[in-house]
Amino acid sequence: MQAIVETVFDTVYLVSVITIGIIMIVKSGGRRQYRLFGIMAVVLGAGDSFHLVPRALALCTTGLENFTGALGIGKFITSITMTVFYVILYYVWRVRYEVKGQGGITAVVYLLSAMRIILCLFPQNKWLEADAPLSWGIYRNIPFALLGLVIIVLYYKCARERGDNAFKHMWLTIVLSFGFYIPVVLWADAIPMIGMLMIPKTCAYVWTVLIGFLAMRREQQAQTF
């Protein structure tokens, strides 16, 4: 039952976010923020597929224990692409709110992203092994969580100041994604059921993508009248 439910859920998720991303890229109409948003959605879906596709194959065939290497590589790739996801989301913020300068914030975003990626490259992560150390899972997620916090604050502040109803919940989707993700990092190995939190975490990312897509659709509809 787990194999069927999880595989169907992951398939719908990957197809949905990648399709939405492609539509946004094609129909952005020269509006840079929505083209960036579309690229971001494709990066999200493509990156997650490296982990979710091997996981689905494992669940539907011989089990997760026989796909340790593939799952580890997929998890590594996803860790990198999720970092890129937040960097793009930062640039969506800059374009949407017409932010000029702010070199200090940009430097912080790139520094945290670089730290995250460098930590992911350390062999101590043991990506290809079943007994990957929890300590390195925490180390590499510290700059990632700080990067998320920066993005949360930026969107929360600007959406409120500008009265941006379309993006007023963007900050909340990121809060939820990290709120569901952090317990998985800390306790999923000891309590496997906590891994189920990845489902609402994934739904939070779908919400993020839908916010951008629906905002683009509303603008397009407004221009036709």
Residue that is written with structure tokens 């900050």 in the block: 171
Q: In the Cβ-directed half-sphere of 72, how many Cα atoms lie within 13 Å?
A: 19
Q: How many CA atoms lie within 13 A of 154 on its CB side?
A: 25
Q: What is the pTM of this model?
A: 0.94
pLDDT (0 to 100) of residue 212:
96
CATH of domain 2-223: 1.20.1070
Residues 119, 123, 129, 130, CA torsion sign: negative
- Closest by CA to 117, choosing from 147, 91, 92, 90, is 147
| Distance from the first to the final alpha carbon of the chain | 49
pLDDT by position in tens, the chain (length 225): 677 888 899 999 999 999 999 999 999 888 999 999 999 999 999 999 999 999 888 888 887 788 888 989 999 999 999 999 999 999 999 999 999 998 999 999 999 999 999 999 999 999 999 888 999 999 999 999 999 999 999 999 999 999 999 999 999 999 999 999 999 888 887 787 888 888 899 999 999 999 999 999 998 887 765
Query: What's the pLDDT score for residue 23?
Result: 96
Q: b/e per residue, 105-140, with b = 16+ CB within 10 A?
A: beeebeebbebbbebbeeeebebeeeebeeebbebb
Q: At which residue do the structure tokens 């629906």 appear?
A: 214
Is the separation of the CB atoms in 6 and 195 below 8 Å? no
d(CA 154, CA 151): 5
Q: Give 176's contacts (C-beta < 8 A, 6+ positions apart).
A: 200, 201, 204, 207
As a whole number of angstroms, the distance between CA 175 and CA 178 comes to 5
Domain boundaries, the chain: 2-223
- Which pLDDT score, from 0 to 100, does residue 225 have? 59
